[in-house]
Amino acid sequence: MPFALIQANITTLGGLGLAGLLVAEIVVVTLTASFSDLTDGSDAATWWSAVLSTAVCAWLLRYFLRGVTTAIGWSALSGVRVGAREAVRQFRIRALPLLVFQLLFTLVGVSVIVVCSLLIVTAPIALPWLGRLRGKRFVAVPEILAGAGHADAVRHAKVLAAGSEWSLAGLWMTQRALFALVAVPLLGIPLFLTEFTGTHRWPVIVLLTSAVLLLVAFGEIVEASSRVLCYIDLRCRREGLDIRIPRRR
């Protein structure tokens, strides 16, 4: 279970997640305030700048946490405990292929949603279609952290996932459902607090953007941990990773 892996490294993951969340929120508030000043406090401009800056920072936060969580999980399952500094170092070494994966990951997701949204008939197939595409590449990130380039990692991930695409797609879709359930109360808390603090614009913006980024951080840590576990499981079943050949003395 990913939560067992997370619990074993909760201090490191929590510290990195909190640090990334704080940096992202500071950037969101700074950009939103800057655009608000440029537009003389226009409500529409302020809200749009908050939405767009949150989307960009959430994307970057996922990119960062995907890398460091995978590094921590892969090292832990290999029998080596790494700290935050070492996890960031491993992430920096593999930052470029991870960035390529993240860009294509986003492009594919947006393209599938746009294409399926064109017609009402095709809308219901968006999630299964995207889930299958995600399932085929689900273990590519651990492969990248293990030292492979982007193309080789994706190719190997498809080989490992062959025959298990729908199982991995089901896991991916189940996680989306879990995150949606978590999002309802999490995003409801800021709205509940405004009943007492009033609907002041800046407190609401800070509360809502913080809630969104917190959900993104939680979701990415859980998903990245799942990727590592699935990667180890598939390699054990497909390639005998857990088999140790005794050496002749």
Q: State how far the Cα of 2 lies from the Cα of 171, in Å rounded to an integer.
A: 12
| pTM, rounded to two decimals | 0.88
Whole-number Å distance between alpha carbons of 24 and 144:
25
At residue 161's C-alpha, the angle toward residues 156 and 163, to 5°, is 135
Q: How confident is the model at residue 199 (pLDDT cuts 50, 70, 90)?
A: low
Amino acid at 243: I
CB neighbours of residue 121 within 10 Å: 8
Quickly state the pLDDT bin for 216 (edges 50, 70, 90). Answer: very high
Task: Name the nearest CA neighbour of 72 among 6, 154, 162, 164.
Answer: 6
Using the predicted structure, report yes or no on whether residue 128 has a pLDDT greater than 70. yes
Query: What is the pLDDT at residue 247?
Result: 57
State residue 11's pLDDT score: 92
